Amino acid sequence: MGVSAPGVSCEEQVLRGLDRLPPFSPVLNRLLASLASDDVSFGELGTLIEKDTVMAGNVLRLVNSAAYGFSGTVSSVRHAVAILGLGRLRNAVMGMSISRVWRGVRTPEGWSSARFNVHSVATAILADLVAERVAVPYPEGAFVAGLLHDLGKLLIATSLPQECAVIQALFEAGNASLDECEAQVIGATHSALSGAALRKWNLPQPIRTAVTFHHAPDRADRGQLALAHVVQIADQLAIDLGHTLSHPEHQTHRQADPLLARLGLTGELPEVMARFEPEFEALRAFF
């Protein structure tokens, strides 16, 4: 189909779209690098955030939100780091930083950056909460895998807008899955493209695998429980809650139930939702 450059496959053209993304902030670059090596320290994260005036303000606004019960009492980034803890703060800063990058991307008519950001963040938070409840390898990568699982969709929309519109029309006709529509039109799926993009960013293999196979998690690790199962559940939970790229009339609700049951998590859902709502609402204010 169509408009890809001569001699360049659709997949190659989509991945070249990574070079057109707005530059990452020093904070985001360091946090992404920390996933593949040593964890960033409390002191280093605090110093990085303090150097980014917008991010520092957002962190203080976040920690002083009703979700954390410190309304108006936290006035320093170092205090915020101590209160939220390294893992939670790193996830929040990464979510805010990534959403800031996505907002700077030029997208075609009909693409909703707001819905994309909300779905990505909802999936990230839910993946992190689900990963706490199952013995999955590399649970510390759940938030990032959830946050970036649909990066391929954004790259398709920005690099191949005409094909993106055709894919969406085929999918909304209801005769095939989104992956099948993508494979038919451009010869690659958003899942595979997301994984390929994360490989170019040198993110850890478990995160790349989880993203690549989040629609077919049994292929991720020879059928063993893997981070891909967590992202699949989180992705579907977010959709069930209405946090989706699709228009409301194309949503199918309660599809996460059999996935939760398979991992023995049905009874955990009320607690997951109770923790999800305040965290999600606190972060959503930044998108």
Q: Closest Cα partner for 195 from 156, 232, 148?
A: 148
pTM of the model: 0.90
Domain edge (last residue) among 77, 100, 123: 100
Rg from Cα positions in the chain:
19
Domain edge (last residue) among 37, 68, 100: 100
Q: Closest Cα partner for 229 from 245, 241, 218?
A: 218
Contacts of residues 217-220 at CB distance under 8 Å and 24 or more positions apart, as own/partner, are none
Number of independent structural domains in the chain: 2
Is residue 43 domain-shared with residue 129, that is, in the same domain?
Answer: no
Predicted confidence (pLDDT) per residue in 32-61, tens digit: 888 876 667 878 888 889 989 989 999 998
Give the residue with greater pLDDT, 222 vs 93: 93
Domain edge (last residue) among 48, 75, 100: 100
Range of the domain at 174: 1-19+105-287
The H or E element containing residue 273 is helix 269-284
Q: Closest Cα partner for 56 from 85, 34, 71, 78?
A: 78
Is residue 168 domain-shared with residue 264, that is, in the same domain?
Answer: yes
Cα 285 from chain centre: 17
CB 38 within 8 A of CB 206: no
The torsion of the CA quartet 201, 203, 209, 214, rounded to 10 degrees, works out to -80
Is residue 119 domain-shared with residue 135, that is, in the same domain?
Answer: yes
Largest Cα separation within the chain, whole Å, is: 59
Is residue 126 domain-shared with residue 91, that is, in the same domain?
Answer: no
Joined tokens for residue 32: 């992404």
Task: Please give the angle made by the CA atoms of 30, 34 and 63, to the nearest 5 degrees.
Answer: 70
Q: What is the CATH number of the domain that holds 262?
A: 1.10.3210.10
Please determine, for residue 4, whether its predicted confidence score (pLDDT) is greater than 80.
Answer: no
Is residue 215 domain-shared with residue 109, that is, in the same domain?
Answer: yes
CB 156 within 8 A of CB 182: yes
Is residue 33 domain-shared with residue 15, that is, in the same domain?
Answer: no
Per-residue pLDDT, averaged over 84-88, amounts to 84
Is residue 8 domain-shared with residue 89, that is, in the same domain?
Answer: no
Is residue 205 domain-shared with residue 79, that is, in the same domain?
Answer: no
Q: Closest Cα partner for 210 from 97, 154, 130?
A: 130
Predicted confidence (pLDDT) per residue in 235-271, tens digit: 999 999 999 987 554 455 678 899 999 889 999 999 9
Is residue 205 domain-shared with residue 259, that is, in the same domain?
Answer: yes
Is residue 15 domain-shared with residue 29, that is, in the same domain?
Answer: no
Is residue 245 domain-shared with residue 140, that is, in the same domain?
Answer: yes
C-alpha to C-alpha distance for 211 and 138, rounded to whole angstroms: 13
Joined tokens for residue 265: 């998590």
Is residue 91 domain-shared with residue 171, that is, in the same domain?
Answer: no
Joined tokens for residue 257: 């139930």
Give the confidence band of 145 by pLDDT, cuts at 50, 70, 90.
very high
